[in-house]
Amino acid sequence: MVAVGLLIGLAFGLLSGGLFQILVLQNLVFGALAFLLPIVQPLAALFPVPATPIWLSVVIGFVLWLAFNVLVFWILAVFAQRSLVFPGPGLDLVNNTAMQSFYRGFGAGTATLVNFVIYFPLPNPVFTILAFVSLVPFLLPIPAIRHTRFYQGIIGWMSWVMPVSWIDNARGLFFFLFWAMPAGIAAFGTGAIRFDPTSGSIETRYPMPNPTRRAFNIGVFTFLNGGGADRLSHSRDLGA
């Protein structure tokens, strides 16, 4: 089911990446959504710096692209939650089902193609290299590769440079700066924060309100419960 999800995710990623090219990148060059400017022009007063029409057009395009993707993934998240099979008492992991494997593959395929479509047309050899690096999640259906720490480490480091990950990274940075870091330093000192070179993530230990929760990650930021001694086992199958 991972392979099936990956293939369908690649198709959706091609659609989403194409929309990003039209609504954001091409919009930046040609102002494809300029006809909407009279509607949103009054919003320019809300910007801390003067907003030019072309940038307003790009912002409109990005918001439309983001809303489309959020809607699709919200619908999928509803079905994914319904497919969860919780374990019995005393077990820490949620049982993996065929539908969970499908959604894991779908997310990887989507991120792969969106990242590729964003980077590949850009006129710079660095972006071309990044475009081909973004294809690493193609190896996801192979368990012998997917479960290795080396592969997971590559996926983790990719999260720094792949555009699909940047929104999650921004969310993680916000939570890190305004909640986890102050709480962690107050409780455990500067030792509460460390960089994990094997996964490219920033780990923060702080007292979580829920004592039974062990760890979670948002983008490249990993948060661990200060009440436990276990480190999070990284598995970033989305690749982006």
On whether both 177 and 118 belong to a single domain, the answer is no
pTM for this model (two decimals): 0.71
Query: Mean of the pLDDT values across residues 18-25?
Result: 81
Task: List helix spans (H) across the chain.
Answer: 2-20, 26-30, 37-40, 53-82, 98-119, 125-133, 143-146, 149-158, 163-175, 181-188
Of residues 222, 234, 168, 213, the one with CA closest to residue 192: 222
Find the range with the poorest average confidence among 18-22, 70-74, 75-79. Answer: 75-79
The pLDDT assigned to 106 comes to: 83
In the numeric block, which tokens belong to residue 202? 């920033």
Position 32 scores a pLDDT of 59
Domain final residue, candidates 114, 141, 168? 141
Residue 127 sits in the same domain as residue 221: no
Q: Which residue has the higher pLDDT, 18 or 97?
A: 18
Range of the domain at 205: 142-240
Token pair 């009054």 in the structure block, residue: 42
- 123 shares a domain with 157: no
The alpha carbon dihedral of 92, 96, 100, 106 has a sign of positive
For residues 89 and 201, membership in a common domain is answered with no
CB-CB contact of 109 with 12 (8 Å): yes
Answer yes or no: do 149 and 131 share one domain: no
What is the tens place of the pLDDT at every residue in 27-67? 665 565 655 556 655 666 665 555 566 677 777 778 888 88
* Residue 91: per-residue pLDDT: 47
pLDDT score, position 99? 73
191-234 confidence digits (pLDDT tens): 999 999 998 999 999 988 887 778 888 889 999 988 644 444 44
123 and 177 share one domain:
no
Same domain (yes/no): 23, 53: yes
Q: pLDDT (tens digit, 9 = 90+) per residue, 152-192?
A: 889 889 999 998 888 889 999 999 999 999 999 999 999 99
**Residue 60: closest CA among 77, 74, 44:** 44
- Do residues 163 and 100 share a domain? no
Residue where the block lists tokens 């690096």: 133
**Tokens 């070179």 belong to residue:** 197
Selected residue with higher pLDDT from 15 and 37: 15
Q: Using the 3D structure, point to which of 120, 141, 162 is the last residue of a domain.
A: 141
